[in-house]
Amino acid sequence: MIIEQQDSLLISSKEARKPEETVIAVIDVLPGEEAETLIRKTVSAYLVGYNIIEIRPKEGRFSSAQRNAIKDFSRRMLVGTEIVSDTPNELTLQVLLGYPELSVKSVLRRMCTITTSMHKDAITALSELDHELAQDIIFTDDEVDRFSLYVIRQLKAAVQNERIIKDIGLTSPRDCLGYRLIIKSVERTADHAVQIAEKIKSLNKPIDKPILDAVSKMASSAISLFENAIEALFRNDFERADQVVQKTDEVVGMEEDVIKLFFRIGDAETISILRLIVESIKRTAEYASDIAEIVLNLTINRVIRTSTLKRHEKAIPI
């Protein structure tokens, strides 16, 4: 059997291959162990790539807090995972989703759509002082986080086994590192939408229109940079990514002018809240630039030519 790898062909005997054994991750639960610690162990096993995770109390049975925390977390946050065994003495999680069924690019596209929507909703919530909408944004962040965990799992598997790279929709090992960094930036961008929403919940009176217009304009510019950076990634567009990097300073520079308007407000607490909101907007623009810079690295071969340097031996004087 011939398997195409990045820079070579792997020839192996199909008959000589032994059936692969399923390796199970077994997590022993210590008496009184915190539910948060169990969740961290479960996430680590999921990210490393185990398809079956068995969680067992070392002594006796689960506490209600331990059992409910693991079940709730796996259902909310671990994409493709089902609870296949649920007893007082054992919880077994199985990942049923295969690599080609949900590619890295399709999941990332979904993450970015959700993140963009969160930021746009945040500005709507600020404009209308809508605390319920702000709370919805906070809840929505779980969706971004769960997709993030799934993609990281896929990328880790691809790094360990080059044959998986094409299955997850990428082309080379170098892509794995780039996408890992992009996923982190998208996740952080969503976190800033949450931070804006949390600050909005602290406001108890509408913001003056001139101030609101200035904040909204900066926010729209920042999220536009984010959308363009992601589009540059999916289109392998070096020029578009370069434009995002160039325009970032322009958006970041809006912060100072926006903050000057805040001093028309007599309430120090409101000023403090608005400054934190603007800080999150600025960070959103900077994360867009980070993504764009990674796209530049991933697409540089599309805009340069390469040549071979020929080395000539020097003549030895007699």
pLDDT at residue 19 greater than cutoff 70? no
pLDDT of residue 78: 93
Per-residue confidence band for 317, with pLDDT thresholds at 50, 70 and 90: low
pLDDT of residue 304: 83
pLDDT of residue 128: 95
pLDDT of residue 280: 97
Measure the CA–CA gap between 54 and 87, rounded to whole angstroms: 11
All structural domains of the chain, each given as residue ranges with its CATH number in brackets, are 21-95 (3.30.110.20), 104-301 (1.20.58.220)
pLDDT at residue 5 greater than cutoff 70? no
pLDDT at residue 248 greater than cutoff 60? yes
Lowest-pLDDT choice from 16-30, 236-250, 289-303: 16-30
pLDDT of residue 4: 54
Per-residue confidence band for 172, with pLDDT thresholds at 50, 70 and 90: confident
Mean pLDDT over each residue of the chain, to the nearest integer = 88
pLDDT at residue 164 greater than cutoff 90? no
pLDDT of residue 1: 45
Torsion from C-alpha of 166, 167, 170, 174, nearest 10 degrees: -70
pLDDT at residue 13 greater than cutoff 70? no
Residue type (1 letter), 268: A
Whole-number percent of the chain with pLDDT over 90? 68
Q: Average the pLDDT over 110-120 and give the result.
A: 96
Q: Average the pLDDT over 251-280 and give the result.
A: 92
Nearest to 279 by CA among 308, 252, 250, 301: 252
Condensed to tens digits (0 to 9), the pLDDT of residues 271-299 reads 999 999 999 999 999 999 999 999 999 99
Condensed to tens digits (0 to 9), the pLDDT of residues 29-80 reads 988 899 999 999 999 999 999 999 999 998 888 888 999 999 999 999 999 8
Per-residue confidence band for 99, with pLDDT thresholds at 50, 70 and 90: low
pTM of the model: 0.84
Report the number of secondary-structure helices (H) and strands (E) in the chain. 10, 6
Distances (CA, A) of 296 to 173, 238, 239, 262: 16, 6, 8, 37
C-beta of residue 148 within 8 angstroms of C-beta of residue 141: no
